Structure formats: structure tokens, C-alpha cells
Amino acid sequence: MTTAANTANSPASSTAAKPPSLDRHEVWARAIAALLFVAAAAFTLLGIHSMSGAMRMPGGWRMSMVWMPMPGQSPLGAGAMFLWMWVAMMIAMMLPSTWPMLELYRKVAVSSGQKSPALASAVVGLGYFAVWAAFGALVFGAGWWGSSAAMRSSLFSRAVPLLAGTGLIFAGAYQVSPWKQACLSHCRSPLMFLGHVFRPGIGGALRVGVAHGLFCAGCCWALMLMQSILGVMNLPVMILIAVLIGAEKLWVQGPVLARITGCASIAAGFYFLVRTVLPPAA
């Protein structure tokens, strides 16, 4: 038996093979992240319940209450309420899949001797979700404009299913494109990503968070477009998209799954178009 084999079978080797135990800072970080996830998920479920209604529109589709202002509510007030729900939804959907990067950042910050690594890690998360908040503002602007146009014009309302089908085809085409794979590679390789963008200090942490958020938005915007078309506050759709995002980032076959999702979205988009253009069977 070789020396290497003896070493591999020795008690010392077995002990060394055990995963390192978490220190108290990691335990606290995971506990806080878990509480934040639970709170965000609860707030999201509350928002879904309060916005569960829908109004049937010309063209055979339903407008969610998300896009209907409350009596006396200004567009600014409606936008603020939407962003609160959007950010909570993003935390619930994105935190599980982005946590490995946040945890890795804290370890790199500790090993590099950075002061207040816990605060810096929180700033990374703040920058990351700030990008998604900005993305949500764009979603609200597009949704508010589209819903207002549909309320004013029955012709535009009848064209909404065509626009939805086109959007699904566009999102699916991006899913199978090289640009999607390039952004996904950054999300799937957090160590390589940090090697390029890590800078010390709180300003550096904010830079890391914003950069990671931009790459993640570049990777996931098509999936979020699918969710917005199929139901921005539809719980089954939300869970499905969250699972797809996590699987794309963490599963070994994530890139393949991204292409499969893209093909499914293209097929769904053509179904929307055909169903809208062709008259219903007698």
C-alpha cells in the first residue's frame, strides 16, 4: 500500500476531510439572512393576497390589481407601493441564489484584513438589491403606461395579447443567446467575479454589489419579463421563476436549463400569437 493511500486512510486524514465548522459570525449572518428571507416572503404573500383581483379587458385578458391605482392614489404613491412589494419579492426570490456570493465576499473580506466585514457584506447586498429596485421602477413604468393605455383604448387592449406573445418570444430568444450565457457564467463563478471586482472599503463593497446586481439583472431580465407577462404577482409563476433562477445559477446543468426555458418561452409566445390571431373554434 502506498504512502498516499495510508495517509488517506489515517484518522488524521479523516478528520481533515470533515467540512470546517461555522464560526459565530457565519452563524449570525445566516440567521439574519434567514429572518430577512422569511420577512420578505411574508410581505410578498401579503401583497399577493391584497392584489389578488383582476379586471377582464377587451382582448380576453385580465388586468391585475397591481396596475390599478387605489381611489385618490397618485402615480407616485402607486409606484412607491409597487416598489415596496417588488423589493420584498426580489429578496424572497433572489436571496437564496445570491447568498453563496455574499458569504464568499465576507470570507474574502476577512482574509484580506478588511475592517467591519459584516457591514461591508451588508453593503454588497444593499447595492445588489438597489439594482433590482431600479429594475422594478422600469417594470412599474412600463406596466403603468400599458395599463393606462389599455384603459383608454379598446384597440390597444385588444393588442395586449399580441404584445405579450411577442414579449415571450423576445425573452426566450435572449435565453438561448450567447449574451445570456456570458452573464450567467459570472453568476455561476462568484470567486472569479470577486477576483475581478473586489475592492477594499465600504465604497468597494457597494461597487461589488452594484456590479453583481447588473450582471444578475443582465442574466435574469428575460425571466422577469416572463413573470411580468404571465403574472407579476402570481404566486405559482413567482415560485417557478425563482426555482429557475436558482437552478440556472447553482445546478451543474444550469446553462442547459436556461436554453430549455428559452425554447419553452418561444413556444408559449407563438401560442399566444396564434390564439389571438385565429378565431375560436365554433
Q: What is the DSSP string of 197-209?
A: H--SHHHHHHHHH
pTM value is 0.83
Residue 166 pLDDT: 94
Determine the pLDDT at residue 15.
43
CA 232 to each of CA 9, 189, 220, 225, 227: distance values in angstroms, whole numbers, following the listed order: 54, 29, 14, 9, 5
pLDDT value at residue 11: 44
- Which segments within the chain are labelled E, that is strand? 54-57, 61-64
Helix (H, G, I), strand (E, B) or coil at 55: strand
* Residue numbers in the chain where pLDDT is lower than 50: 1-17
Identify the pLDDT of residue 4.
Answer: 42
pLDDT of residue 3: 43
Instruction: Name the nearest CA neighbour of 95 among 184, 47, 35, 33.
Output: 33
Question: How far apart (Å, rounded) are the C-alpha atoms in residues 106 and 117?
Answer: 6
pLDDT at 5: 43
pLDDT at 8: 42
Determine the pLDDT at residue 87: 93
Provide the pLDDT for residue 138: 93
pLDDT at 22: 63
Predicted confidence at residue 235, as pLDDT, reads 86
